[in-house]
Structure 1
Amino acid sequence: MKEKKRFICQQCGAVLPKWMGKCPECSSWNSIVEEMIVSPAGSTHRTYKQPVSLNDIVYSEEERILTSIGELDRVLGGGIVPGSLILVGGDPGIGKSTLMLQICGNLSKNRKVLYISGEESEKQIKLRADRLGIKNGTMYIMAENNMDEIEAVISEIKPDIAIIDSIQTVYFPQISSGPGSVSQIREATVKCLRLAKETGSAIFIVGHVTKEGSLAGPKLLEHMVDCVLYFEGERYYSYRLLRAVKNRFGSTNEIGIFEMRDKGLAEVDSPSKYLLSGKPNGTPGSAVVCILEGTRPLLVEVQALVSKSGFTLPRRQTSGIDYNRAVLLTAVLEKKLGFILAQQDIFVNVAGGIKINEPGADLAIVLAIASSFKNRPVAENTVIIGEVGLAGEVRAVNHMEKRIKEAAKLGFSRAIIPSENAAEISNIVEIKIDGVKNIREAVEAGLE
């Protein structure tokens, strides 16, 4: 056996020739660890796989495996692709293991499923399964951390679906570093990728995120796997968002919405209605916007609070939207409408903990701030959609017809949208359309 020594940064995965106090790649201190790698000695002769002509490759479209969880199937692009490697990341306690166990329970009725846990014993998994109401079909449970043992079991059983919970607990005996290190996580993921392609089993690997919000072994896993799903949510909210960050077999814009209940995760049938529950009526500083998450329209409430500052430097604080975008829109209001906001504290929040990234919410943010500043509520049953430019103009956004129909479905009777979009969807009669060209027209039309 030959032993090799190397130094690896546990933050960025950089391989260095010697130990350093500070990593030259990511500038983190005391993150470099020495590792010993044992490789078998012997002949260096290798047998290489011969390349195949593209014209000689024959394939057929494989039917995707449906999980019977509509939100998950949507995010995956229509179901699980056999032989794919899927990474599910999220904060500890967010519900990743619960979702994985529910997938096993649904698929074990007509598929062979293997659930491998490095964190719980078989009895603990059985206890959780009973709580979730899962009855065993062809579902196998295994509590194991050794990747060599896991490889042998998957190769022998060849399940349709295999779940490894979590990748941070798996280790290779040949690597001297402990479980959860960059080397262990990288080698385990490479082994899972090879197993998925050779056996045709779809393998889910669960990964926890660090305090900074990135997967442990940052970015090392994402480029190896076929699909990366992030499970998001706030500790004090019951809903959870499942978002595709990378997907070789589908769109990366889709999200799934779940609600954590006593019996596990349940799909949210009407997320817009859920997100607008509790919205105050006739209160200044509240505006409703319809955003698009993938192909799904969602109605969310944007709230703003403008109050006189008691400090020389007023505060600007946001939750759910980009801070710099809110500052920019505040500056547009000051310049184009003459609002004196330099001595005002401004707080902007998206109710329900949803994060908005698209520019179609700009006009709703502007109306919410103007409403709070003027102490005049936004007109009842009005949805506000549009992008705002630096000149104060209101620009068109895409898929306006889909957004308006979602608003009409939930009982909204009026929409303030860009004039360009208004000319395109004049055929919609369920809702009154007010087209505006700039923020001055929008504020005049939107505030009571």
Structure 2
Amino acid sequence: MAKVKTQYVCNECGNVSTKWAGQCSACKEWNCMDEVKVQPTSGVAKTNRYANYSGDVAIQKLGKVSTEKQLRSTTHINELDRVLGGGLVPGSVILLGGDPGIGKSTLLLQVSAQIATSINPLYVTGEESLSQIAMRARRLSLNVDDLDCMAETSVESIIATTVSKQPDLVVIDSIQTLFSEQLTSIPGSVSQVKESAAQLVRMAKQSRITVILVGHVTKDGSIAGPRILEHMVDTVLYFESDGNSRYRVLRALKNRFGAVNEIGVFAMTETGVKEVENPSAIFLSEHQAEKPGSVVMVTREGTRPLLVEIQALVDQSPLGNPRRLSVGLEHNRLAMLLAVLHRMCQLAIHDHDVFLNAVGGMKITETAADLAIIIAIVSSFKNRYLPKDTIVFGEVGLTGEVRPVHNGEDRLKEAAHHGFKTAIVPKGNAGKWVKNLDIKIITVDQVSQVLDLV
């Protein structure tokens, strides 16, 4: 029998070493090397590795493969269905990540309880006892009389039970608590997470059972475990919040069955996670008075237009190196727009502190916020304000031109729906269809025109 070898695998980056070390030589993390037993193959197997394979694997012509639309199962939560692309697809594997205590387990318990009326779910917990799950269900007033639940961490036992019971949905809370008996490393290590996820993905595809995996996050906010975990699953969802608000945003970072970057908005209440059907009204709930430095823009998350208030504060700096701070907006984009203002509009704010904020904890990455950022900065610097029923969006180039953005019609319709009467937009976004909207359109094609407007 071949001798069993010992390797040490980094549970942060997956680097393999032949001997233990306090620090990983690849990622420089400390105390992250786990021992793994490796059974090498024999010399005969190495020289004749394909002897046991007949080569009779079924091959199909791609043009003859059935492309019937997948039948989805609704989660009975419209915001979650929107993010998933319409519901749960049989055989799909979903990874849900988020900070501790943000509501991942609460949301999935609500989904399991509500979906039990139409399909057969199985809730598997590796972090909590069944009594804890039952106490949470009673606190949330959920009907869980017919909900199957089990406390187990062995992935082989979970798969055997799943194949025997044949549920339609399996919720695993969480993937970091599972372990495979084929490996000797501890649960949560890179090798255990990868092997457990691989077995669950294989089971889901073969049995056409939907699997939802809960994933822990690291200190920097990314999903813990090897990066390959996100490649193996079909959908990656991330639960995020600014920490000071009861509102939660569920974002699709990857989705093979729907739009990427689609979001759903939820509110954490005493009776669980509740969906928010009109997020724009929440983000604008405090936008009542006309104040300098406050501008409302229309951003787009996935297929949904959202109204978000952008606030800027420009103040004389007592420091030799003025501060530039942005919350919810890209810092490098702010520096670029300040340079455009200085060069194209001769607006000298190099000795002023500039603070920028996207109200409501939103994170805006698209360039459609450029024009709103510039108007907010100029409004605060000049101590002038825009009427509160004015909406703004547009991209600003380095030469001072204002460029159109995609889906301008949907953005203007969303603004008109919320009672906005004036829109400052790029000239390219003012098509013939705007005549049908009850909103006044002001077009700009150069950033220098912004000074006259403010």
Check whether TM > 0.5.
yes
Partners of 1:349 and 1:397 lie apart in 2 by 22
Residue equivalent to 1:182: 190
How far did 1:337 drift?
1.4
Structure-2 change in CA distance of 1:206 and 1:46 (3 Å): farther
Kindly state the Cα deviation for residue 51 of structure 1 after the two structures are TM-superposed. Answer: 2.6
Q: Give 1:19 shift.
A: 4.1
Shift of 1:226: 1.0
Q: 1:335 aligns with which of 343, 354, 357?
A: 343
Deviates more, 1:251-260 or 1:299-308: 251-260
Residue 123 of structure 2 aligns to a residue in which SS?
strand
Question: CA separation in 2, counterparts of 1:375 and 1:195?
Answer: 62
Aligned to 1:12: 13
Matched, 1:50 2:51: no
**C-alpha distance in structure 2 between counterparts of 1:122 and 1:40, whole Å:** 42
Among 136, 160, 165, the alignment partner of 1:157 is 165
Matched-pair contact (CA < 8 Å) for 2:170–2:212: yes
**Which amino acid in structure 1 is aligned with residue 216 of structure 2?**
H
In the superposition, relative to structure 1, how do residues 62 and 405 fare at CA in structure 2: closer, same or farther (>3 Å)?
A: closer
Matched pairs, number: 446
Counterpart in the other structure of 1:270:
278
- Alignment deviations for residues 195-240 of structure 1 (CA, whole Å, 9 cap, x no partner): 1012211000100110111111141310111111111112211111
CA shift, 1:53, in A, is 2.5
How far did 1:46 drift?
A: 4.4
Among 423, 432, 436, the alignment partner of 1:428 is 436
1:314-333 residue pairs with structure 2 within 5 A?
314-333=322-341
Higher deviation after alignment, 283-292 or 169-178:
169-178
- Superposed CA offset, 1:240-292 (max 9, x none): 11111111112113111111111111111110011111125121111000011
- Deviations, residues 45-102 of structure 1 (Å, cap 9, x unaligned): 7456733222375574431111111111111111111011111111111111011111
Matched, 1:32 2:29: no
Partner of 1:82: 90
Q: Out of 5-14 and 99-108, give the one that drifted further.
A: 5-14
2:232 maps to 1:224: yes
Any stretches of 5+ residues in structure 1 without a counterpart?
A: none
Cα 1:342–1:114, aligned 2, differ >3 Å: closer, same or farther? Answer: same
- What is the CA-CA distance between 1:126 and the residue it aligns to? 0.8
Alignment of 1:346-357 (within 5 A): 346-357=354-365
Aligned counterparts of 2:94 and 2:226: Cα–Cα separation in 1: 16
8 Å CA contact 2:297–2:372 kept in 1: the answer is yes
The match for 2:107 is 99
1:283 touches 1:377 (CA, 8 Å); kept in 2?
A: yes
Amino acid at match of 2:56: Q
**Aligned partners of 2:409, 2:140: CA distance in 1, in Å?**
40
Note closer, same or farther for the CA distance 1:404–1:130 as it changes in structure 2 (3 Å cut): same
2:224 maps to amino acid: A
With normalisation by structure 2, the TM-score equals 0.93
Taking the TM superposition and a 5 Å limit, the aligned residue runs for 1:242-391 are 242-391=250-399
Aligned residue type for 1:225: V
C-alpha contact 2:79 2:277 (8 A) present in aligned 1? no
Alignment of structure 1 residues 177-216 onto 2, 5 Å: 177-216=185-224
2:345 and 2:320 map into 1 onto residues whose CA distance is 23
CA pair 61-381 structure 1, distance change in 2 beyond 3 A: closer
Normalising by structure 1, what TM-score? 0.94
Asked whether the equivalents of residues 108 and 137 of structure 1 are also in contact (C-alpha less than 8 Å), the reply is no
**What amino acid is the match of 2:58?**
V
Q: 1:121, 1:28 → 2: CA distance?
A: 33
SS in 2 for 1:114: strand
Give the equivalent residue in structure 2 for 1:413. 421
TM-superposed CA distance for 1:6, in Å, is: 1.7
Aligned identity (percent) is 46
Whether the 8 Å CA contact 2:288–2:388 is kept in 1: the answer is no
Cα distance in 2, alignment partners of residues 75 and 128 from structure 1: 25
SS at match of 2:228: coil
- What is the letter of the counterpart of residue 366 of structure 2? E
- Shift in alpha-carbon separation, 1:37–1:148, aligned structure 2, 3 A: farther
Equivalent residue of 1:372, what SS? helix
SS in 2 for 1:307: strand
Match of 1:131 in 2: 139
2:404 is aligned to 396
* Structure 2 residues without counterparts, runs of 5 or longer: 46-50
> What is the CA-CA distance between 1:347 and the residue it aligns to?
0.5
CA contact (8 A) 2:194 2:226 kept: no
